[in-house]
Structure formats: structure tokens, C-alpha cells
Structure 1
Amino acid sequence: MPSSPSAPQVSDRFPGPRREDCPWCGSARLRTRLRGPRAVALDECGACAHAFQNPRPAGDAPAPSGRSHRATARALAGLADPESWLDVGTGHGHFPQAAREFFPYTSFDGLDPTARVERALAEGRVEEAHRGLLTTPGVTDRLRARYDVVSLLHHLAHVPDPRAELRAALTVLRPGGHLVVESPAPDSAYAALLGPHWLPHRHAHLLPLPNLEAELSALGCTVTTTARVHQPQDLTETFPRPFHAPLRAATALDRLLTPLTRRTRFANTYRLVARKPGRF
């Protein structure tokens, strides 16, 4: 059942106050990672290396392309015949639509803080639509232990409290179920090369992979897979849309370099699959 239109939205659509501690570990050992144009003001925690926009600006960044949705679904095809799957931050439901090719017997639901999820339901991309975040009051109670797989694809980078959202994802997952996380890799060589023009530097949070692994381990989960993957967008996103010729050239170069990039430090994304303790 869709929630009310006042459901909380993703955090980097709305400005927030400056904070003096890390949103991941609470340490006050903050340092400047970068300052730049487009309201980029990124701090990094000296204790856990979590990076975040401080203060949080208004604005949002584009979602991954449909091409990357299909690549992600193909990479997850080894998951054993899940009956139910919740895609968190699903937007228009393009990932569930792509994943059906590899999981034809799986029921896909979508959760998103915007009305896009309702359009995904109307167009048949998801079977149930839920408005809000996992941390929205009442959501985890309604969906508790309901899903065999929960995917957080480029979602944790945009929520007010990524650690709480991660824990809530485990609440709606059945014992023995799988959690799938994709997130920008803050140690990508493109981050240093492009600085404030690197697309993920416009996100609310950059979560180091070791932090997620440690958190999931502390919660009793087993990390079964980690991988560096690449989305061909880094050079493309450095050019404003009116510059058509250099934009087309950058897009072509991004795609050309992807096969060479995905297994190097230039890879801009990591994927993690973890198993919740217990049995179905």
C-alpha cells in the first residue's frame, strides 16, 4: 500500500545543517576531502574514512543507466531462485524489469521515497509499490522478514542515515536471505583525477567497502561476494549537457574504456552480497 505524499525523500534533494560528527561512526575527527563547484563540500571522517556532504546541499544526481541494471542482474543470476525480492530506491522500477530476464519466477516489489514507484507499479515493473525509506516509521513493521533478497543499488549514498537504512534492510530480509549492495567506491582513481567533477562527489554519502563489511559481520551476516564493477559515466558527467560535441566524445570514451577499467582502481563502483544468518 503506498504511503502518503509526505513520505520522507532522499536526503540529497534537500539541504541540511552542518554537522560536527561522522554520520557513520560518530567520530568528531572530520577533515576536508574537497571543496569545489556545484555546491560540493565533502568532509571525511579521520576514524572510519566515511565521506559525506557537509552541509548537505539541495540537488540530486542521475541514477544508474538501464544498461548497468541489466549487468547487475546478470551478475546476480547465481542466487538460488528467490521467491520474493525488494528493490529499495527502485525509482521507476528499471532494475526489477531488467532482472526478470534472469529471475523469471521471482516476485519483485519496489520501495522508493518518490511517486516514481507508483508509476513503476502502474506500468507493471513491480508487483507491489511502497513509498518511503526503510527507516520510514511503519515500513519495516509492515515488511518484516518478507523477502528472500533485498537490493540497495546506489541507494545508501542518498539517505539521511545509511547505517540505519542498512540495518533496516536486514529486518525485512528473511533468515538465510541475501542482501545486495552497490555503491560508489570512494577510493576509485577517478575520484582523485576528477575531484569535484566526479559524479559520486555530489552524493550525500560515500561509504568505504570495509565499513559495510565490518557492519554486516557485526550483525552476524556472512559476506559471500565483493567485486569492483564499473559504470561508464565518469568522463561523461564532467561536461555540462549544452556541450554536445565533447559530451558525445566523453560518452564514447567512457564506454570504450569500460572493459579495461572494471578490474582496476579506476572502477567506480563496488558490489557486495551478504547472507543473513539463519535458514529459510
Structure 2
Amino acid sequence: MTTTEAGSPAPGPSAARPSTGKAAARAERVAALRPGYQADLADGTDRFFEPRRTDCPWCGSTLLRVRLRTRDLLQHKPGQFVLDECRDCGHVFQNPRLTGAGLEFYYRDFYDGLGEQRLGGVFATRAGVYRSRARSVAPFTTAPSRWLDVGTGHGHFCESAREVFPDTPFDGLDLSEGVQLAEREGRLARGFRGSFTELAPTMAGRYEVVSMFHYLEHSTDPARELAAAREALRPGGFLLIEVPDPQCRFARLLGRWWLPWLQPQHLNLMPAANLRRRLGELGFDVVLEEHGEPHDPVDLLAACWLLLDAVAPREDVPWLPGAPPGRLRRLLRGALFLAGAPVLLPATVLDRLVARFAGRARLSNAYRLLARRDAAPDQQVP
């Protein structure tokens, strides 16, 4: 499993027709992967899901309601996914949740493998977003002694953040092999591959800043991740978090077509008030909360694209049954997206207009918290 560097990936590049050489290479790769995927799916998808739970994983309440039923709208891997909402605290969570085997299956070829080139290009073009995230720390510390980016992916945030803090060493942690690539290519001072909750004891008190950008929503246990961050931080250090906002009005207006639902990858989506309270319980003081600045102006464009993609003929992917799409199906797919261009362009313009007042109108699709760790020793943390 890995996490994103820039939030939910903006769809679009896969609709374009690749060059002949790249198309042939991809077709060969898909053909090589097909037997393994079909073997994984031979007995259906039941083994990819845990038993359905009857209580909220955040507060323990049993007052739950279904918020969303959907499918995998990006990769189109088989399976149905349900998000429940707690009536008491507002926490939204996947229920039933994916098992370890399910997480491996649905993450496979999304950020790495078949999806690496597509998403690597998306993340590499977001330097301005990354610098904005780094600058949110600047009023509180002028030159962090060392910074750890958790869920760093290929390390593009750290590369851009060095422009804001040129004297700060940036380390990154991720479950994917991308973190090792980022270290080799110089985007990270050091790359750690593994689970943060398992590695945090070896990092105790090492960092002045720990960042988690669109990471917690991927976690099976966000509370443990927050405790791990406290352990890795030195007393008085800062934890910087950015996550999708399940209270965004677009989430209800667009339903399953709201990109940040990102099923089946997003397991937990917590309202800002819930996260503030949990941070307080762990000995953090929230010093900054932002809603407008973290907003990614892509909601309407992504919804239109996802809808077009849902009705278009499928691309050649190894997890879908049947023969690879022929020339006619490929042409129909391209023609459909071409016909949808008059819708996609106005959606893009509207997204940018909305961005000007998204925070005030509760249309921001994400929020950001910066919290300072207290000076108490870690042994006192429950």
C-alpha cells in the first residue's frame, strides 16, 4: 500500500491516446499481469473484506448510517464499497473494511506498476501546491532542524519544500518502493520504507516537523498514526496534517462522483473537530486550521470525467475479464471523451471560480491542521 503525494489523483491522462510505442509496451505489460489478476479473482472478492462492524472506529458509537455505496471508479477493479457515517461524531469510514489482502489487491498498479508513470507525472507538476504546504509552517519555525514527510510517495513534496527551507534535511517514509527511488534521485535526504507505527520508536524525538498530506485517510488506524507522530517529534515540534473534508458540501452534491471519496483506498475520513479533539488528547495544541488554502479546485472537472469514464468502453487492464479492447472500442472511448470536452472545459472554469470562496462556503474539499507537540515525555501518552 502507498499513499498519495497530492491528495486524490486528478483523473484525465488515461483518456488520452498514447503513442504507438508506449501503447504496445503497455499492452505487453497488461498481458503479462492478466493471469495473476485473474487467479486472484477466481473465487470472487469476498476474501478482500473484513466482517462488517457495528460501531464507529473513532468514537465507538453504534449509531451508524450508510453515507455512500459505490464501486472503484478509477481503476474499475471488481467490488462494491460502502462508506458509513457515525451519527454521533460524523466520522465516515469504509464498512466493511478491506483486509490486508484487499489493500494489496486494490493498491496494486495504482501508484506503482501500471499507474506509476501516469501518477508520477501528476505529482511532479504540483510544485506550487507543495510549496504552499511548506509555507504554512514558516510563521512558527524559520528553519526546521529535520522534517519527516509520512506517505511521501516519490518525494516530490520534499523536493519542492526545500525551496522554502533550503537548510532543512527532508526525510520521507512510505510503504512503496517509490521512497527508495526518491532517495536515490536526491529528493529525500533519507527514505524509509515501511509502516510508520512500526518505525516510529526508532525515530523517537528526531524531528522538528512531521507532515502527513492526504495520508491519514488511507490508514487503518489513524489514532495510532497520530501517536506515532508524537513519538517521532521532539518536544515542541510540529505535526502538519492535510486530509479530505467529509463535511464539504460538494461531497453531498456530487455523491459517488466526488473524487475525494476515492474508494476503495480511503478508509477513514474525519471531520476537523474530531481531529482537533484527538490531537488535544495526545498532548498537541492546534495552532493553525485552514480550509480555503488546501482546497484543490478539481471537484466539478473530476466528477464530469468520472461520469464519462464510467460510460466509456473500458481500457485494457488485467483485472477485467475478456479479450483486450479492439480498435473500434478504443476509437469509441477516444470519441466519447472528445465529445465530452465542451463539458469538461466549463467544469474547469467553474472549479477555479469556486476556489475563490470555497473555504467560506464550506465547499473546500480538504482542510489543514498544524499542531505543536507539548514537552511532556512520551511515556505519559496513553
TM over 0.5: yes
1:40–1:196 Cα contact (<8 Å) kept = no
1:40–1:201 Cα contact (<8 Å) kept = no
Q: What is the root-mean-square deviation of aligned Cα atoms in Å?
A: 2.3
Q: Provide the C-alpha distance between the structure 1 equivalents of 2:154 and 2:345, rounded to a whole number of angstroms.
A: 26
Matching of residues 29-178 of structure 1 within 5 Å: 29-38=63-72, 39-56=80-97, 59=106, 65=123, 66=126, 67-80=128-141, 81-135=143-197, 137=198, 139-178=199-238
Q: Provide the C-alpha distance between the structure 2 equivalents of 1:133 and 1:69, rounded to a whole number of angstroms.
A: 23
Alignment CA distance shift 1:253-1:70 (3 Å)? farther
Q: Does 1:26 align with 2:68?
A: no
1:232 to 275, 297, 301: 297
- Residue identity opposite 2:65 in structure 1: R
Q: Does 1:201 align with 2:261?
A: yes
1:187 to 247, 272, 284: 247
**What SS is found at the alignment partner of 2:84?**
strand
- The worse-fitting range, judged by mean Cα deviation, of 85-94 and 54-63 is 54-63
Pick the structure with more helix per residue. Answer: 2
- Residue identity opposite 1:237 in structure 2: A
- Residue identity opposite 2:91 in structure 1: H
Q: What's the counterpart of residue 76 of structure 2?
A: none
Q: Provide the C-alpha distance between the structure 2 equivalents of 1:261 and 1:73, rounded to a whole number of angstroms.
A: 21
CA drift at 1:180? 0.5
CA drift at 1:272? 0.4
CA drift at 1:249? 4.3
Alignment CA distance shift 1:226-1:15 (3 Å)? farther
Q: What's the counterpart of residue 364 of structure 2?
A: 267
CA drift at 1:23? 1.9
**What SS is found at the alignment partner of 1:251?**
helix
- Residue identity opposite 1:79 in structure 2: F
- The worse-fitting range, judged by mean Cα deviation, of 255-264 and 38-47 is 255-264
**What SS is found at the alignment partner of 1:142?**
helix
Pick the structure with more strand per residue. Answer: 1
Q: Provide the C-alpha distance between the structure 1 equivalents of 2:216 and 2:48, rounded to a whole number of angstroms.
A: 17
Q: Provide the C-alpha distance between the structure 1 equivalents of 2:92 and 2:173, rounded to a whole number of angstroms.
A: 25
CA drift at 1:97? 1.1
Q: Provide the C-alpha distance between the structure 2 equivalents of 1:29 and 1:198, rounded to a whole number of angstroms.
A: 24
Q: Does 1:250 align with 2:347?
A: yes
Alignment CA distance shift 1:74-1:117 (3 Å)? same
2:2–2:151 Cα contact (<8 Å) kept = no
Once the two structures are superposed, residues 167-211 of structure 1 have per-residue CA deviations (whole angstroms, 9 ceiling, x without a partner) of 111110100000001011111111111111112222211111111
TM-score normalized by the length of structure 1:
0.87
Alignment CA distance shift 1:91-1:262 (3 Å)? same
2:235–2:374 Cα contact (<8 Å) kept = yes
- The worse-fitting range, judged by mean Cα deviation, of 257-266 and 78-87 is 257-266
Q: Provide the C-alpha distance between the structure 2 equivalents of 1:147 and 1:181, rounded to a whole number of angstroms.
A: 15
1:145–1:174 Cα contact (<8 Å) kept = yes
CA drift at 1:252? 4.1
Q: Provide the C-alpha distance between the structure 2 equivalents of 1:86 and 1:123, rounded to a whole number of angstroms.
A: 17
CA drift at 1:53? 1.4
1:220–1:277 Cα contact (<8 Å) kept = yes
> Which stretches in structure 1 are left out of the alignment for 5+ residues?
1-7
- Residue identity opposite 2:360 in structure 1: R
TM-score normalized by the length of structure 2:
0.65
Which of these two proteins has the greater Rg computed from alpha carbons? Answer: 2
1:156–1:183 Cα contact (<8 Å) kept = yes
**What SS is found at the alignment partner of 2:211?**
strand
